[in-house]
Amino acid sequence: MTHRSTSRSRAHLGRGFGRILGAASAGLLALTLTAGCGGPQDTVKTLGKVPIPTPPASPIVPTAAPGHAQLVAMGDPVQLALDGWQGRITATGPDLVNAAPSQGAAPNSSSPGTITVALSVPTGSQQLSADSLVATDELSHPIALTPDAAAATATPGHDAVLHFSGTFAAGHATLTWRQAGKPIATWDFEVELD
């Protein structure tokens, strides 16, 4: 009786089928890496590129509600969702009457100007009261404002508009609209007089 040995041999690294498979994998990896790169010049061209998102189709208007006041830049509207009514309020300005300094003189440190506030409502009517608006400078000192009327009433299709005149110093300032003594919207602005 003949005995036959049925031992299996292991593939040795660098020999036989394993060697062919390893060489094919290395070649495929090298081909993949070089195919994705166009060389050093292409890499340099793409460095530092940041995709710029497209702006929204319409500007986003923040909504202010009781306990959720909004801080925006001067000129930006604020949507209102207040107790029992809705609307939109916008403040613009100040439109400055800054006379140019004479030759060699320092720029003015302040200028008279006007801020305009407009309130619109889709339904009903709402009063915009001049005493509900307060302006402060960068040190939180009040800026004296003189309104053209004590109040104005907004109805659908007819905005309530008030003009406030005052003297504005160069620097940072804010205008805040309050309802029931609480801030609802604050506009931030910079007065430049140079």
Percentage of the chain surpassing pLDDT 90?
56
pLDDT digits (tens, 9 = 90+) for 4-21: 444 444 444 445 555 555
Residue of 1 and 40 predicted with greater confidence: 40
In the block, tokens 């302040």 appear at: 110
Under the banding of pLDDT at 50, 70 and 90, the label for residue 89 is: very high
Answer whether 59's CB lies under 8 Å from 76's CB: no
Under the banding of pLDDT at 50, 70 and 90, the label for residue 174 is: very high
**Residue 1 pLDDT:** 47
What gap in Å lies between CA 125 and CA 158, rounded to an integer?
Answer: 10
Is it the case that residue 107 has pLDDT exceeding 90?
Answer: no
**CA dihedral over 151, 153, 58, 68, signed as positive or negative:** positive
Under the banding of pLDDT at 50, 70 and 90, the label for residue 155 is: very high
Is it the case that residue 27 has pLDDT exceeding 60?
Answer: no
**Residue 11 pLDDT:** 42
Is it the case that residue 40 has pLDDT exceeding 50?
Answer: yes
**Residue 36 pLDDT:** 52
